[in-house]
Structure 1
Amino acid sequence: MQRTGFATQTPPALFPSIFGGLGLGLAWHRAVDVFGISRGVGDMLFGMAVALFAFSLFAYVVKVARRPGVLMDEMPVLPGRAGMTALILCFYLTSAGLVPIAPRIAILLLSVGLVGHFGFLVLFAIWWRGAPAEARGLNPSWHLHFVGFILADLSLIPLGFQGLALIIFWITLPIAVAIWALSAWQLTRNVPPAPLRPMLAIHLAPVSLMGTNALLLGYLPLALVFVGFGWLVLVGLLICTRWITTAGFSPLWGAFTFPLAAFASLNLLLAAALQSGGLRVAGGVLLVAATLVVVPILAKVMQAWAKGGLGVKTNAARV
């Protein structure tokens, strides 16, 4: 018998937009050194995103505690798989934001994220082996599943675990390249259905994160390669905006949020490192754009959840 009431159908589709909100808060933190602004804006945005994450996580944990089998029930639905990974990646970003003020809590959250990430991959492998052929194909969410570990470096590097950060960087880099290459090949053969096209924006996220971590690890030339590649990807996405968004707003628009915030962060970090006026302007424009994109999408997704329609619309599992 299905339950009714709180947390009976908490949708994983909540978490990509919250993930973007956390990334936006971190991007505003990057702007402090570039523009000399108060850290308060970033703290406010990050704090609000952490609060939303904590409440949404509690609602999802309550759902899973009632019937742990819902985790496997989420797997056949793309918003479910992507949302579950975004939930895990939120632990990495929350950890990164807490490193300067609460390093022990940051390490704890990072550890939870890593354990949860490996646990998700086990569930994913079990589902994938038995899934129909048409559901097993590569899609942009594979960046979240397999390259998302790179987010751990945002905490590992400032915490002093540079050796582990290097290992994660050099393992995830070829995986990201392989997914980009296979995705480009797919686009030449098959046109994604309109409702799934917003997920193409995810391809910008690993570009941004690879560039950011390359810079933090001391590989400045590689970081410049990634920022150049990122601008090519972003321009391509902007040119195709009407085509990508032709199906209208959906929870999958959460795919627009974190990649844009992450790319703003990369430009701002490089602007501070190189004292580049051009990158300073680019980073500022991207930061404003990310704010204007992330906040409304996050608000609409949370509103849809509050009204009770998000779980049904994304076919989230029930308890």
Structure 2
Amino acid sequence: MSGEERLAHFPVAFFAVVMGLSGLTLVWQHAAGVLAAPAAVGAGLAGVTVVTFVLLAGFYGAKLLRHPGAVREELEHPVRLSFFPAISISLILIGTLLLELVPPLAHGLWVIGTLLHLGLTLYVVSCWMHHEHYEIVHINPAWFIPAVGNILVPLAGIPLGYPAISWFFFSIGLLFWIVLLTIVFYRMFFHAPLPARLLPTLFIMIAPPAVGFVAWTRLVGQLDAMGLILVNIGLFLTLLLATQARRFAALPFFLSFWAYSFPLAAITIATFTYHELTGAAGLLWLGTGLLGVTTLVIAWLTVLTLNAAREGRICVPEA
């Protein structure tokens, strides 16, 4: 297959890689304060994340210019459509991880990402409302990305001084988390199981309550009943999926494996935050363990992705 053909099949889902690397960066930045981990690790990961985003944006921009029909096909696809907001979420996350490193750039990226994400949320939800071809079997946790992803905005929005905007986006994310989580469980309980390619997206269910907990504590400035509910839901979902590790380990590699990355980073940060608010030693040990797991998983995903790219198993037509 020629390079031009591979470019036509360059998937928008690749931006999940940036989400995963952003999550890992935020985890190590948090660990610098909680565990006195070297700050250079977080700074180095921030650089890797930014470079990765620029490269992927360049490739996808080239695809848009040379193969607009292929981009249009992704926009009309019931699963791939949900990954377009991964671009705006990547900008929001990069803005968040650059808050202390490059404040002016962080502010600008957060504003651009937030506005873009609002636009993409409106577009995707409108598509859901006025569709002619979606069925219950099309839904999977990747559908959380467009609307529930709004819950990320307060992470940088509060430190940047945008409380009203942060509450607005948090409210949108919370609303659609409740709605879509109900539909996802209904689909899994009463319809055909998720295909193997989409099984890793189950980990995305961890992210909303985990990120929601961190965002909530920033919004209200304390640990309260709502925060406890969110963090414990996140911990339960992590435990539930951990008990199914053998099922996930048996899967062949798909790009969807990157769905493991950001949710694991999110629950790690949530656990460290929970420890900071309570002082519980057990949470510190759990957070440290999750830090190791998240780092190893993302290193493993990086190796698998590079190997798959080298062997020509990425950017090809879906079987």
TM surpasses 0.5: yes
Query: What is the TM-score of this pair, normalised by structure 2?
Result: 0.89
1:247, CA displacement in angstroms?
3.2
| Partner residue in 2 for 1:241 | 245
Greater relative contact order structure (CA < 8 Å, 6+ sep): 1
Deviates more, 1:107-116 or 1:12-21: 107-116
Partner Cα distance (1:308, 1:215) in 2: 44
Partner Cα distance (2:238, 2:144) in 1: 17
| Partner residue in 2 for 1:147 | 148
**8 Å CA contact 1:12, 1:79 repeated in 2:** no
Q: Tell me, what secondary structure is at the counterpart of 2:139?
A: coil
Mark the CA change 1:123 to 1:67 in structure 2 (over 3 Å): closer, same or farther: farther
| Partner residue in 2 for 1:175 | 176
Partner Cα distance (2:156, 2:293) in 1: 26
Mark the CA change 1:292 to 1:3 in structure 2 (over 3 Å): closer, same or farther: closer
1:8, CA displacement in angstroms?
4.3
Mark the CA change 1:283 to 1:208 in structure 2 (over 3 Å): closer, same or farther: same
Q: 1:38-57 residue pairs with structure 2 within 5 A?
A: 38-57=38-57
| Partner residue in 1 for 2:276 | 272
Partner Cα distance (1:140, 1:294) in 2: 20
Partner Cα distance (2:127, 2:3) in 1: 25
1:224, CA displacement in angstroms?
2.1
Mark the CA change 1:238 to 1:230 in structure 2 (over 3 Å): closer, same or farther: same
Mark the CA change 1:154 to 1:69 in structure 2 (over 3 Å): closer, same or farther: farther
1:77, CA displacement in angstroms?
4.2
RMSD: 2.4
Counting aligned pairs with the same residue, the percent is 26
**8 Å CA contact 2:8, 2:67 repeated in 1:** no
| Partner residue in 2 for 1:138 | 139
**8 Å CA contact 1:197, 1:245 repeated in 2:** no
Partner Cα distance (1:53, 1:13) in 2: 12
Q: Tell me, what secondary structure is at the counterpart of 1:158?
A: coil
Name which of 301, 304, 307 aligns with 2:308. 304
| Partner residue in 2 for 1:97 | 97
Deviates more, 1:251-260 or 1:176-185: 176-185
1:148, CA displacement in angstroms?
0.6
List gaps (5 residues or longer) in structure 1: none
Partner Cα distance (1:131, 1:211) in 2: 36
Partner Cα distance (1:157, 1:292) in 2: 31
Name which of 200, 204, 207 aligns with 1:205. 207
Partner Cα distance (2:185, 2:27) in 1: 28
Query: What is the TM-score of this pair, normalised by structure 1?
Result: 0.89
Mark the CA change 1:126 to 1:177 in structure 2 (over 3 Å): closer, same or farther: closer
Work out the number of aligned pairs and report it: 314
Q: Tell me, what secondary structure is at the counterpart of 2:37?
A: coil
Partner Cα distance (1:65, 1:167) in 2: 34
Partner Cα distance (2:40, 2:183) in 1: 42
Mark the CA change 1:179 to 1:86 in structure 2 (over 3 Å): closer, same or farther: same
